[in-house]
Amino acid sequence: MGLRQRGLDAALERPDDVTSLDPYVGVVIGSAVYADRWMTSAEQFVDRWKVALQQRQVWLFSSGPAGDPPKPEPSKAVDVSAMVAETHARDHQMFAGKIDTKSLVLVERTLMQALHVTGLDVLSSC
């Protein structure tokens, strides 16, 4: 169930579009995980707003890994401990990701195969 469905006044903003955190008492920040890292725009958002975030309730989430079982293991998919410390985040949650195999280039498909990612047709777009 989403925040709005729970009666909360919530706004969805792209990291680069945020010009002020003044209207918000809480912030949920998330990113897809690619090559063991958050997306650059999400990392830059945390860096740009870390002082203001320390004065709000903050939660973090990551989207990734993918496969069945997930690869890499969720506990090793991304290290956000520095972001948790910088923002005083209350929690970080990892959610399963999804890979659109049709959008992968050869190097990415090869990496998925090397990691033995199962549950995906990783070579379907060869």
Residue 123 lies in a domain: no
Question: Is the pLDDT score of 43 beyond 50?
Answer: yes
CA-based nearest residue to 119, from 93, 103, 98, 104: 98
Contact 86, 50 (CB under 8 A): yes
pLDDT in tens, 70-86: 655 655 668 899 999 99
In a domain, 17, yes or no: no
User: pLDDT band at 126, cuts 50/70/90?
Assistant: very low
Among the listed residues 65, 109, 106, 60, the one whose alpha carbon sits nearest the alpha carbon of residue 87: 60
* Dist. CA 79–CA 96, nearest whole Å: 16
Domain residues for the domain of 57 are 25-98
The pLDDT, as a whole number, for residue 103 is 78
Residue 76 confidence (pLDDT) = 61
pLDDT at 63 over 90: no
Q: How many domains does the chain have?
A: 1
The secondary structure element, H or E, covering residue 63 is strand 57-63
Of 15-29, 61-75, 101-115, least confident by mean pLDDT is 61-75
Burial of 65 (0-12, 13-18, 19+ CB in 10 A): buried
In a domain, 33, yes or no: yes
The pLDDT of residue 3 is 84
Residue 123: the pLDDT is 41
Handedness of CA 50, 38, 78, 4 (dihedral sign): positive
The fraction of the chain above a pLDDT of 70, given in percent, is 79
41 found inside a domain: yes
How far is residue 117 from each of residues 9, 65, 67, 99, 114, measured CA to CA in Å? 39, 10, 5, 11, 8
Residue 57: inside a domain, yes or no?
yes
Query: Residue 77 falls within a domain, yes or no?
Result: yes
Please report the pLDDT score of residue 101 as a whole number. Answer: 72
Domain-located, residue 6: no
72 within a domain of the structure (yes/no):
yes
More confident residue, 126 or 13: 13
Radius of gyration (C-alpha) of the chain in whole angstroms: 17
Q: Is the pLDDT of residue 42 over 60?
A: yes
